[in-house]
């Protein structure tokens, strides 16, 4: 049985075939469900037929913030997996044996490695119209600007940053890779960071910022004044009794990145908590922190100390500190 048209999940029966989209890096159980139920992407070929813009908009509406570059990588991998599914055994033998030495494998799918947003802006000053050319390098998160409608410098700038070797940026601490991989005695479900709250002043319960990531821009945090961060986590399914006997702990750490200067501020780590049998939802409270006024992005990493570790990640693109 084949899948229905993309986006028409109502035509699928309960027993219809589906691929395991969680095999694609970055797609967990929650995102797989969102792609299936909202966009009809049950098969690799369904996901490959979607546009990055449609996927990004759908996930954002559900509170999942994913970069266009990562979504493009999902679609590219889905193309490759769908092509591998459709290849017949005879096709595979022809590709591998190449008896005449003349067979050439098909070219790999195009996949983006650099993205730029170019804007031609204008404003009115004293009755005169001024224009400028603005460019943003998505992966490096850097900008530049020139007066007027610039073309030559713009092209040179883009080529320069394509050729520049990227420098590793500071990252949140990840758990060390185990020296020996142990099979877990019980399966531990994936974890997602679902929402974040800012309480200012601390311990008052007074909400200063964010609930759902998409609504974060509506809130303002006071600069140079202490605040608390509350982070809410959800497991993909309730923890089983067998898994609960392992006393698995969870921990959350956060950092803020100044969008103007690029400076990063580590906001601290929560105290470890323990996963409970049958529970799905958990809350972690970060140490009291302060930020100077500015515009930031907020990165949140949740870690389960299972073997192998389970990670949940969320990035809030805009945190306004005034």
Determine the pLDDT at residue 206: 63
Percent of the chain residues past pLDDT 90, beyond the cut? 7
pLDDT (tens digit per residue) in 52-94: 888 988 888 888 888 887 888 888 788 777 776 665 444 444 4
pLDDT at 269 over 80: yes
Range 106-128 burial, b when 16+ CB lie within 10 A, else e? eeeeeeeeeeeeeeeeeeeeeee
Q: How many CB atoms lie within 10 A of CB 93?
A: 11
Q: 122-177 pLDDT, tens per residue?
A: 888 888 889 999 887 776 778 888 898 888 888 888 888 887 655 554 455 555 55
Mean pLDDT computed over 17-37 = 87
- Please, what is the average pLDDT of the chain? 77
Residue ranges with strand state E in 165-259: 191-199, 207-209, 220-221, 228-235, 249-258
Q: How confident is the model at residue 8 (pLDDT cuts 50, 70, 90)?
A: very low
Give the integer Cα–Cα distance in Å for 215 and 203: 22
Residue 306 predicted with pLDDT over 90: no
Q: Which residues pair with 133 in a beta bridge?
A: 120, 146
The length of the chain in residues reads 322
98-112, 135-149, 172-186, 285-299 — which one is most confidently predicted on average? Answer: 285-299
pLDDT band at 28 (very low <50, low <70, confident <90, very high): confident
Domain extents in the chain: 9-89, 116-163, 191-321
- What was the pLDDT predicted at 196? 86
CB 77, CB 47: distance < 8 Å:
no
Per-residue pLDDT at 105: 65
How far, in Å, CA of 174 to CA of 253, rounded? 10
Query: What is this structure's pTM?
Result: 0.44
Closest by CA to 115, choosing from 68, 57, 73, is: 68
**Residue 252: is its pLDDT beyond 90?**
yes
CATH of 191-321, one of 2.60.40.10, 3.40.640.10, 3.40.47.10, 3.40.50.150: 2.60.40.10
Omega prior to 201 cis, within 30 of 0: yes
Backbone torsion region of residue 119, taken as left when φ is above 0, otherwise alpha when ψ lies between -120 and 50, otherwise beta: beta
């Amino acid at each position: 049985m084949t899948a229905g048209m993309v986006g028409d999940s109502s035509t699928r029966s309960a027993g219809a075939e589906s691929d395991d989209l969680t095999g694609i890096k970055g797609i967990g159980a929650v995102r797989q469900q969102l792609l299936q139920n909202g966009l009809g992407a049950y098969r690799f070929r369904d996901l490959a037929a979607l546009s990055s813009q449609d996927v990004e908009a759908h996930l954002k509406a559900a509170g999942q913030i994913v970069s266009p570059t990562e979504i493009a990588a999902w679609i590219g991998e889905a193309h490759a997996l769908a092509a591998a599914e459709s290849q017949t055994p005879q096709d595979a033998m022809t590709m591998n044996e190449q008896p005449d030495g003349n067979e050439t494998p098909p070219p790999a799918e195009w996949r983006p490695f650099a993205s730029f947003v170019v804007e031609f802006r204008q404003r009115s000053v004293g009755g005169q119209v001024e224009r400028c050319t603005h460019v943003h390098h998505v992966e490096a998160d850097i900008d530049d600007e020139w007066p007027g409608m610039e073309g030559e410098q713009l092209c040179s700038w883009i080529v320069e940053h394509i050729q520049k070797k990227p420098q590793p940026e500071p990252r949140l601490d990840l758990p060390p890779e185990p020296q020996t991989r142990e099979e877990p005695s019980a399966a531990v479900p994936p974890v997602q960071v679902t929402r974040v709250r800012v309480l200012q002043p601390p311990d008052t319960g007074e909400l200063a910022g964010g609930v759902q990531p998409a609504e974060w821009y509506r809130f303002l945090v006071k600069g140079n004044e202490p605040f608390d961060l509350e982070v809410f986590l959800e497991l993909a399914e309730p923890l089983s009794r067998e898994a609960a006997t392992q006393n698995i702990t969870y921990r959350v750490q956060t950092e803020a990145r100044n969008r103007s200067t690029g400076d990063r501020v580590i906001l601290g780590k929560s105290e470890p908590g323990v996963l409970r049998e049958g529970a799905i939802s958990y809350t972690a409270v970060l140490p009291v922190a302060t930020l100077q006024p500015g515009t930031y992005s907020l990165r949140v990493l949740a870690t389960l100390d299972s073997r192998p570790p389970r990670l949940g990640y969320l990035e809030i693109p805009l945190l306004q500190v005034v």
